[in-house]
Amino acid sequence: MASGVHQAMAPADHQQQEVGLVGCEIVSSVLGQLETTITPENDLEGGLPEGAKKELKKLRENLQEIRDVLADAEQRQGKEKRLRFWLKKLKNTCYDLEDVLDEWNIAVLKMQVLGADQNALIREKGKVCFMLPSSCICFNSLSVHGDIARKINDLSKIIDDINEEQKKFSLNKIGRIDEKIERVSVSIDDVSEICVREDKKRRLVEKLCESGVKTKHPHIISVVGTEGVGKTTLAQFAYNDNLVINYFDIRIWVRASDPFDELKIAKSIIKALKGEVFYIDKTGSLFQWISRSILGKKCLLVLDGMSAEDYQKWKPFYRCLKNGLPGSKILITTRKEVESNDVFQVEKLPTEGCLMFLRHLAFFDRSPEDWKKLENIGKKIVEKCNGFPFCVKIIGSLLRFKSTSEQWQKISESYIWELKELEEKDYFPFLFLSYSELPTMIKRCFSYCAIFPKDYNMSKDQLIKLWMAQGYLGFGEDEEMEIKGQKYFDYLLRLSFFDVFKKDHDGTILRYKMHDIVYEFAQFISKFESLTIEVNGLKDASSNAAHQEAHHLMLMAREGAPLAKSLCDVKKLRSLIILGRVTDLSLLCNDPLKLFDQQIPLRALDLSAKRQYANSVKEIPGEIGKLSHLRYLNLSLLNFKELPETLCELCALQTLELSWCTELKKLPQGIEKLINLRHIVNNGTSLEYMPKGIERLTCLQTLSEFFLGGGSGEACTLECLENLNHLRGSLSLKRLGNVKNVNEAKKAELKTKRNLLSLHLDFETEEKEKVNQEEEEILVALQPPSDIEGLEIRGYRGRDISLDWILPLEKLSMLNLHDCMKFENLPALGRLPSLESLSIWNMQSVKRVGNEFLGIKSGNASAIVFPKLASLKFVDMEKWDRMLIDVPEESIIMPCLRSLSFVHCPKLSKIPDRILQKTTLEELSINWCSILKQCYSQRSTGEERHKITSPIS
């Protein structure tokens, strides 16, 4: 057997470990990879030997035959154990095939790097003959060919045997699910509202807001019901009711951990109170802090998912909440009744309620006539839901994609309802139905999510990067894969496999999570492949036997815990994500260098720390360069000062996360070898410069911060940005004050970077006192793309900003101007049509702000200035003493203004009435502005105070 290829388990061996239901969606993935990997375009100096080419052809044919009967095999495995073992063997072999094909891709990338290096040497020396001998290339490529050919030959024979074996089962060809991803118009936010019992919600809100309770102790209310019946949904609707919001001074929602972890829950409460994590690790001190924080306040604490067995453990929380005002409440959601003052029992939905909910989900944007045609089948399906709203939600989300009676009938009569393996949970058949209907690659994307711990808050972008690292999005163009990842995620979201967890103030979704039931199902279908293991003290994670077979592993570590003494035994590991504090990589296993053995096919490695553990790992070993398959590397919040040059051997690397590595001074000089790199996320580092060669990373889509100056001849200039035309999202240019050449700025070609949404221009310089006379010209040369939405300019020493530069930015919605010390007048920003948020900071030369700021042209009395501005802030304007607005009454000024703020403007004496008396103004904030504060404070009796109605903070 060739090195790196593992013999798959033999089928029907009575001594084998029992396996659960097996899905072999990997077969289609491997077939697709075969078509795109070993091709004439990806040839390696002469190609594979003829024998290997024949094996490849035979391998494709066998896999195609197997794929045609897979659907039948997966359906029958519930009743035929031998089929289940056959599928397991097939799956293991396909994993090995993926690794071999990945080796080919990596070999191609290395040849591209070698070719690029030779071209660079030619350009540098000016000699065409300065090249490595072609015989060296041929020798290396032939060696690669021979190794890959042997592995393909071995695996082809195994697949041939597997194909012959499947013929004994008399499997039938069943049409595969259409791989097309349909779009649906139903909102993802409205699917749960209808299942809330309005009468129960009303009574729960009344009980929460009840003020007649005489006892000083917190009043305890429990919402009780079986899993999936809607306890959390009911509690959420009450928690977010306006009456509840207005009644309590403090509202805290905490997910009760399973098993109950006092320290974790106490920190969650403090995070809700304080807005950040509290780093004391003694529960007594935390409880004291909570008690002090709620002193004299009316508080609502929700403990969601409390186990009845853990009820006594939460009593310390009850005691520390006694400091709250009378009327404070504690709301518990739990499966079994616990000791409480009031109990709200949540029963199953009646059949009519379930049917109404199903109709709402499946026919959200369809005609009533369609429902009449399918109502009878819908009633049969609803009967299977047994009154569980969660089951209705899952099946209804699936039926939204089905429009014919034949499709509905097929679901009603599916074999899945009879599978004994799904009897463990009432809701598993519903989830498995939706899962089985997923297109092949989306199944892999969903099952991968089992690696995350329960209640994990997922980032959509992070998850898509991890899917891409595993090859689940194919191997096409970057933009194509990114779009595909977005579609896959949205598809799962609309099928209710994900729930929205957190939004920002604009309604943009920031985080997602999986419902407990969905998470249990993800673990069920990913049994032995994706594992999450909590490591406490000296517990050895590898003691879990299934760990040895895992492809994706997450370790949740307590501080100082040796994570896995035998982690290196996991030969097929593709993902390793560590949550918790790792102070030293030696804690990963007995010999940390073995973790970076090139035989481990890791695609994703996440060693990032939590923010409170930012002083953890201080050195990244050079052996990391042996992880040749690595595509995703997250080292955020670690404390190392530099990355080893060997990192540049990871030519397949797509994502490098370095955010808040505050000690990081420089990137490797050979970074240009990472030709497959798409994302360098480096917010909050201490980088001194960007190394030369970064301009060759033409696949780059993310480059958070670009540093100029320093590094002597090793540093690149702004000109290096010229060909990075795929950059998108946010880009920050640091130390622009070091740029001396206007032509260098022009060659950056920022205006051609059409996918950029946010730009930060920081003119800080290493020579603090020196003024660059060309700075105005440099700013002009750095013209942003016209579609930019966010812009910040900091430390600019020019006297103004040209209107020809700023006015083309018609989509600009956020603008911050900081420390522009030479400005005497503000630009005509009122003419920006989309501007919603404007902040002006530390303009030390500005003494007055007048009509020029509005940008009203003479004779244009009907102008609308700042038409969309909602937030306006002035900070640290020490010499500013006048704000004069003298325009015709017909002019409309800031019609959408909601928030107006003045901070440390000590000489400003008055706010113009045209701004102050806006009917839209909701918040007026005046801080460290002595004259303004005196004029407009609550105690003021002057006429200015009576001109405003909005509260002043």
Rounded CA separation 412/374 (Å): 11
Helix (H) or strand (E) holding 424: none
Residue type, 385: C
Rounded CA separation 498/460 (Å): 10
pLDDT, tens only, 377-394:
999 999 999 999 999 999
Residue 111 has pLDDT above 80, yes or no: yes
Residue 346 has pLDDT above 60, yes or no: yes
Burial class (CB in 10 A: 0-12, 13-18, 19+), 476: exposed
The mean per-residue pLDDT over the stretch 160-174 comes to 93
CB contact set of 332 (below 8 Å; sequence gap of 6+): 220, 221, 222, 223, 302, 303, 306, 338, 340
Burial class (CB in 10 A: 0-12, 13-18, 19+), 403: middle
261 pLDDT band, cuts 50/70/90, is confident
DSSP state of 911: -
Rounded CA separation 782/443 (Å): 45
Residue type, 165: E
Helices (runs of H) and strands (runs of E) counted in the chain = 26, 28
Rounded CA separation 572/580 (Å): 23
| Angle of CA points 101, 107, 112, to nearest 5° | 130
The lowest-confidence range among 27-36, 554-563, 650-659 is 554-563
Does residue 449 contact residue 457 with C-beta atoms inside 8 Å?
no
The lowest-confidence range among 663-672, 870-879, 907-916 is 907-916
Does residue 633 contact residue 657 with C-beta atoms inside 8 Å?
yes
- Percent of the chain exceeding pLDDT 70 equals 79
Does residue 446 contact residue 435 with C-beta atoms inside 8 Å?
yes
Rounded CA separation 845/838 (Å): 19
- Percent of the chain exceeding pLDDT 90 equals 45
The lowest-confidence range among 136-140, 378-382, 635-639 is 136-140
How far CA 886 is from CA of 665, 741, 860, 889, 949, in Å, comes to 52, 42, 13, 9, 23
Query: Dihedrals φ, ψ of 841, to 5°?
Result: -125, 135
At 334, is the secondary structure helix, strand, or coil?
strand
Token pair of 262 as six digits? 């006092």
Averaged confidence pLDDT in the chain: 82
Token pair of 43 as six digits? 């040839």
Token pair of 153 as six digits? 């030959």
Question: Strand ranges (DSSP E) for 122-256?
Answer: 219-224, 250-255
Q: Would you state the pLDDT for residue 785? A: 96
At 699, is the secondary structure helix, strand, or coil?
coil
Rounded CA separation 895/873 (Å): 16
Q: Would you state the pLDDT for residue 3? A: 37
Does residue 738 contact residue 708 with C-beta atoms inside 8 Å?
yes
What sign does the CA torsion over 713, 718, 722, 723 have?
positive
Residue 542 has pLDDT above 70, yes or no: no
The mean per-residue pLDDT over the stretch 758-764 comes to 95
CB contact set of 51 (below 8 Å; sequence gap of 6+): 149, 153
Rounded CA separation 227/312 (Å): 21
The mean per-residue pLDDT over the stretch 697-705 comes to 95
Phi-psi region of 693 (alpha: psi -120 to 50; beta: other; left: phi over 0): left
Rounded CA separation 662/687 (Å): 9
Q: Would you state the pLDDT for residue 130? A: 31
Cβ neighbours, 10 Å, residue 533:
21
Cβ neighbours, 10 Å, residue 334:
22
Does residue 567 contact residue 594 with C-beta atoms inside 8 Å?
no
Does residue 136 contact residue 115 with C-beta atoms inside 8 Å?
no
Rounded CA separation 92/395 (Å): 31
Rounded CA separation 823/358 (Å): 62
Q: How do strand 509-513 and strand 499-503 relate by DSSP bridges?
A: antiparallel
Q: Would you state the pLDDT for residue 52? A: 74
Residue 13 has pLDDT above 80, yes or no: no
Question: Strand ranges (DSSP E) for 545-678?
Answer: 552-557, 575-580, 604-606, 632-634, 655-657
Q: Would you state the pLDDT for residue 755? A: 93
Among 411, 430, 412, 434, which residue's Cα sits nearest to residue 422?
430
For residues 54 and 823, the model is more confident at 823
Does residue 596 contact residue 633 with C-beta atoms inside 8 Å?
no
Rounded CA separation 562/560 (Å): 6
DSSP state of 171: P
3-state helix, strand, coil in the chain (%, to 5): 40, 15, 45
How far CA 479 is from CA of 64, 439, 482, 700, in Å, comes to 29, 20, 5, 11
Among 950, 927, 922, 822, which residue's Cα sits nearest to residue 876?
927
Q: Would you state the pLDDT for residue 9? A: 35
